Amino acid sequence: MHRVAVLAYDGVVPFDLSVPIEVFGRAQLADGRPAYEVRVCASADEVRAGPMAIRARSDLGWAADADTIVVPGVADLDEPVPAAVVDLLRAAKGRLVSICTGTFVLAAAGVLDGHRATTHWAATAELARLHPAVDVDPDVLYVDEGTVLTSAGAAAGLDLCLHVVRHDHGAAVAAETARRCVMPLERAGGQAQFIAHEPPLPAGHSLQPLLDWLAENLSAPLTLADIAGRAAMSPRSLSRHFRQQTGTAPMRWLNRQRVRRAQQLLERTDTPVERIGGLVGFTSATAFRECFRQVVGVSPRAYRRAFVPDMAAGGVGST
């Protein structure tokens, strides 16, 4: 039987600890046998987990022989990672899976160097700063790099664990596991994290007034020349300064913000999908669908269905 070790150490997030226990613990094969043997493996006799203290039945010795090691999130990113946990992860022969800020633990062990990874949207910038050898993707729910998998915050850990079940045991077992956990079958891994607001650049940057103006005029049919005129620059100079300060081109930045606004409308209103593209500045339904899928990873309709199942089931909009 596939052995899953869920690590527990000081500062572990209780919710993140429970996610793999629930998903892997509820997975059953077609004949009713458990699909996994799941154990919590602690780095000490007793570890702190939010308002609780945990005394696990297994230690890191059992985890060393596990087929999958799950690393839950840590509440304090400055909490030192126990040396025994680092040694375990570096020597692991099986699959490594992190939930939320558990990515920082994997990164501290060096096992993410050269790999694409994600974490909670609020911590992606810090992950990139602390671990420049990691290719941080801030826009997805989870990343599957084969032997090492990472997820974004909170519920994205459920999606990743269910993805693992599907990989190990097929779609039928994954569907039954989702039913037992009372959760959707799975959101696409390339789908953007739902809380996707990107903070503006700090005050004082020369383009900040322009970015504020763009954010207030997403629905306007703006061209590069329009934006350059507003900034009192040539299109070429604007593009250069824009890329220096935001890392992307003006129209790409604008369309990304339009998609972010569309996400909010899809989540919070019952506005028909085909109207939302026009409300956020896209000139055609096709352009809206294509840009939305590029940024988010799924179609606008699929995004609404994942976020508000009842609304989508009611037939609101179409794309």
**β-pairing, 47-49 with 52-54?**
antiparallel
pLDDT of residue 310: 54
Give dist(CA 25, CA 134) in Å, integer: 31
- CA 186 to CA 177: how far, in whole Å? 11
pLDDT at 315: 43
Task: Using alpha carbons only, give the angle 28, 93, 41 rounded to the nearest 5 degrees.
Answer: 60
Catalytic center residues: 100
- Residue 295 — very low, low, confident or very high, per pLDDT cuts 50/70/90? confident
Whether 189 shows a pLDDT value over 90: the answer reads no
Nearest CA to 17 out of 98, 88, 90 is that of 98
Whether 6 has a pLDDT exceeding 50, the answer reads yes
Kindly give, in sequence order, each residue whose CB lies less than 8 Å from that of residue 149, ignoring residues fewer than 6 positions away.
Answer: 95, 96, 97, 98, 142, 143, 160, 163, 164
Contacts of 292 (CB under 8 A, 6+ apart): 259, 262, 277, 299, 300, 303
What's the pLDDT score for residue 42?
A: 96
The stretch 294-304 carries a mean pLDDT of 86
Angstrom distance (rounded) from CA 78 to CA 74: 9
Query: What is the pLDDT, as a whole number, of residue 181?
Result: 87
- Would you say the pTM of this structure is higher than 0.75? no
Q: If pLDDT is split at 50, 70 and 90, which confidence band does 96 have?
A: very high
Question: Which one has a higher pLDDT value, 109 or 187?
Answer: 109
Structure-model confidence comparison of residues 247 and 245, the more confident one: 245
Highest mean pLDDT among 103-112, 152-161, 301-310: 103-112
In tens, the pLDDT along 133-182 reads 999 999 888 999 999 999 998 789 999 999 899 888 876 788 889 888 87
Give pLDDT, residue 311: 55
Segment 23-34 shows an average pLDDT of: 94
- Of these ranges, 126-140, 172-186, 301-315, the one predicted with the greatest mean pLDDT is 126-140
Q: How far apart are CA 162 and CA 207, in angstroms?
A: 42
According to the model, what pLDDT value does residue 118 have?
96
